[in-house]
């Protein structure tokens, strides 16, 4: 599961690569992106293809939230407190789901159409590398890119507009645009570090066009690992001025 990536390319490069017309993201600070961060995506709109920001982490399933709220309700009732379960469920914190693997799930199906597809720009992505964890230290990250010079590429993503949720208790109820991206089985470069999955990566304008415009049966064919020859282990990227 990819929960960290880096983007060092600026809005002009992203707009040109994706044939987007409108920059709604403003200036982009180069650097690392973590779950629940606001980050650039490219999506369709009624004004053409646009570059806005959204918050990383799609809505979790209703079952997951229902289960969490039920456990919370049980604890409150055990303390003799009255519980308004509908309110408890509405206010149940949802940190979001960063990656989507099972596109056959009923939870994801409403958001697989072209109106909810997006691409997510990146220059490198990371996976935890437990084999190189020092004794008593934190697990380091292994970084991957589509080339040793950290070229611009894109994750195949999904976005959800104006979602009402609680991401953090201190924020309370918010309404925000959310995004996440698809994963697939790892290729031979990634599998020694993360044997379960890698992001679905798009490297050409034609692939981006297919993901953003094609019927699902055609777009879904892109949910496959990047070829080994196009995947490179790299040092952690250094930030550069976004242009």
Domain 5-59+95-234: top CATH class: alpha beta
How much is the pLDDT for 76? Answer: 79
In terms of Cα–Cα distance, which of 197, 214, 26 is closest to 117?
Answer: 214
pLDDT tens readout for residues 221-231: 999 999 999 99
Stated pTM of the model: 0.90
**Strand, coil or helix: what is 143?**
strand
* 160 vs 60, residue with greater confidence: 160
- Check whether 57 has a pLDDT greater than 80: yes
- Please give the average per-residue pLDDT across 188-204, as a whole number: 96
- Least confident among 11-15, 26-30, 33-37, 226-230: 26-30
| Helix intervals (H) in the chain | 11-18, 62-78, 85-90, 205-213, 216-219
Query: Are 6 and 32 spatial neighbours (Cβ–Cβ below 8 Å)?
Result: yes
How much is the pLDDT for 242? Answer: 41
What share of the chain has pLDDT > 70, as a percent? 98
How much is the pLDDT for 144? Answer: 97
Residues 153 and 142: their CA atoms lie apart, in Å, by 18
Domain residues of the chain, as ranges? 5-59+95-234, 60-93
């Amino acid at each position: 599961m990819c929960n960290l990536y880096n983007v060092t390319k600026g809005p002009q490069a992203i707009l040109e690569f994706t044939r987007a017309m409108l920059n709604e993201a403003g200036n982009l600070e180069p650097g690392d992106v973590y779950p629940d961060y606001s980050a650039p995506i490219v999506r369709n709109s009624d004004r053409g293809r646009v570059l806005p920001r959204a918050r990383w982490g799609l809505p979790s399933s209703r079952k997951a939230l229902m289960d969490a709220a039920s456990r919370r309700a049980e604890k409150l009732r055990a303390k003799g407190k009255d519980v308004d379960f509908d309110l408890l469920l509405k206010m149940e914190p949802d940190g979001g789901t960063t990656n989507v693997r099972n596109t056959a799930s009923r939870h994801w199906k409403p958001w697989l159409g072209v109106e909810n597809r997006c691409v997510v720009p990146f220059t490198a992505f990371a996976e935890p590398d437990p084999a190189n964890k020092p004794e008593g230290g934190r697990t380091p990250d292994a970084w991957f890119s589509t080339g040793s010079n950290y070229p611009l590429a894109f994750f195949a993503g999904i976005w959800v507009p104006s979602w009402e949720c609680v991401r953090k208790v201190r924020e309370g109820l918010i309404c925000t645009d959310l995004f996440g991206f698809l994963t697939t089985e790892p290729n031979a470069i990634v599998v020694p570090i993360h044997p379960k999955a890698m992001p679905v990566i798009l490297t050409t304008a034609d692939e981006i066009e297919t993901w953003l415009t094609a019927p699902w049966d055609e777009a879904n064919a892109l949910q496959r690992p990047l070829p080994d020859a196009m995947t490179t282990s790299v040092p952690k990227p250094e930030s550069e001025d976004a242009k």
